[in-house]
């Protein structure tokens, strides 16, 4: 098994942390981004051209004082998936409050291209189960 998919996920998080759009070129045009497990404003996006993606990016820039950081703490590749445990951090623009969360995402790949991202929040066990692993 190669580390190619892990490196792609690492590049995506790096791009998000820099605030550039390079990550969009790394994902499939028809990608499904599933944040339905999110406690506040859950959503599912379907494709890079989903209008909600532009709204999400714009709102994100308005919410944070600086660009939030997406730091991979652990990336585990299993067959066609990459399990990403990341540290998300940022400072709220209005409140000035520092926010930090340790969350899990599962990326599904097809032909070395991410076709799905599922957010698991802090539910590490569910994320592990989604890739056929357990704690």
Number of helical (H) and strand (E) elements in the chain, helices listed first: 3, 6
Average pLDDT in the 77-98 region?
94
Average pLDDT in the 79-102 region?
94
Q: From CA 89, how far away is CA 68, in angstroms rounded?
A: 5
Q: From CA 104, how far away is CA 119, in angstroms rounded?
A: 6
Distances (CA, A) of 68 to 13, 48, 71, 112, 126: 11, 21, 10, 27, 25
Q: From CA 56, how far away is CA 44, in angstroms rounded?
A: 11
Three-state SS for 95? Answer: coil
**What is the per-residue DSSP string for 73-92?**
EEEEEETTEEEEEEEEEEEB
- Per-residue pLDDT band at 2 (split at 50, 70, 90): low
Name the nearest CA neighbour of 128 among 82, 88, 86, 87: 82
Taking 80 as the threshold, does the pLDDT of residue 129 lie above it? yes
Residues 6+ apart with CB under 8 A from 31: 45, 47, 48, 114, 115, 116, 117
Tens-digit pLDDT profile for residues 38-78: 998 899 999 999 988 887 777 777 888 888 899 999 999 99
């Amino acid at each position: 098994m190669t580390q190619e998919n892990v490196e792609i996920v690492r590049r995506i998080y790096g791009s998000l942390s820099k605030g550039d759009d390079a990550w969009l070129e790394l994902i499939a045009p028809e990608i499904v981004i599933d944040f339905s497990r999110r406690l506040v404003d859950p959503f599912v996006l379907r494709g890079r051209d989903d209008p909600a993606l532009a709204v999400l990016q714009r709102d994100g820039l308005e919410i944070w004082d600086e660009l939030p950081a997406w730091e991979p703490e652990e990336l585990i590749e299993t067959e066609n998936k990459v399990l990403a445990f990341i540290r998300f951090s940022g400072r709220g623009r209005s409140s000035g409050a520092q926010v930090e969360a340790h969350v899990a995402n599962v990326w599904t790949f097809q032909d070395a291209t991410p076709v799905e991202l599922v957010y698991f929040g802090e539910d590490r066990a569910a994320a592990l189960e989604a890739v056929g692993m357990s704690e």
